Amino acid sequence: TWGDTHRLAAWRALPDTTSSPAPGPRLSGDHDCVLCTSPVPGVTDRAARGPAARYVWDLADRENSRWAVPHGASGIPGSPHHQDQQHLWLSGDLAPVLTDFDQLTKESHA
């Protein structure tokens, strides 16, 4: 299938040099579709380019707004939110946008 060879190869500013990278998650689309990602044709099927985020804003009722990012809401490895949206981003689904400060919690890092 497409996803057997077409994998996410996300660029990392500070890559882990202690181990070889595991194959990324399977991808569903190329550069001409809703789930767009872009490998370099003829060179690799591993895609390092894709949307940094997907948003749908309901300007009349912001509680109906949705979003997803390729990995998660936190950029800190080890955080429970480091890859908590990846499954949504890969499938084209979206998570609710929380804007009610009473529902938001602060995450602290050591």
Which residue has tokens 């990324």?
A: 24
Structure tokens at 104: 């938001």
Buried b (16+ CB within 10 A) or exposed e, 6-32: bbbbbeeeeeeeeeeeeebbebbbbee
DSSP state of 97: P
DSSP state of 20: P
pLDDT in tens, 60-96: 998 899 999 988 888 888 888 889 999 999 888 999 9
The sheet carrying 54-56 orders its strands as: 54-56, 66-68, 95-96
pLDDT in tens, 13-47: 776 777 766 778 888 876 677 777 888 878 888 88
Query: What is the pTM assigned to this prediction?
Result: 0.69
